[in-house]
Amino acid sequence: MNISRRHMILGSGALAALPCPVFAKSPREITWDDLIPDGVPYGEIIGEGDRDEINDTWSPIFDENSSKLNNDLKDTVVKIPGYIVPLDLTLSGLTSFVLVPYVGACIHTPPPPPNQLIYVTTDIPWTQDNMWDAVWITGLLGHETTTTDVAETGYTLSAQKIEIYEW
Distance CA(103)–CA(117), nearest Å, equals 13
Residue 151 belongs to a domain: yes
**Where in the sequence is the domain holding 30, given as residue range(s)?**
25-164
Q: What is the pLDDT of residue 119?
A: 98
CATH code of the domain containing 148? 2.40.50.870
Residue 4 belongs to a domain: no
Residue 68 belongs to a domain: yes
**Average pLDDT of the segment spanning 116-128:** 94
Residue 42 belongs to a domain: yes
Residue 94 belongs to a domain: yes
Residue 65 zone, left/alpha/beta (φ > 0; ψ -120 to 50; rest) = alpha
Cα–Cα nearest to 163, from 129, 126, 118, 123: 126
- Considering the entire predicted model, what is its pTM? 0.78
How many domains, the chain? 1
Residue 89 belongs to a domain: yes
What distance lies between CA 70 and its chain's CA centroid?
12
Residue 3 belongs to a domain: no
Q: What is the CA radius of gyration of the chain?
A: 21
Residue 103 belongs to a domain: yes
Average pLDDT, whole number, for the chain?
82
pLDDT digits (tens, 9 = 90+) for 136-162: 999 999 999 999 988 899 999 999 999
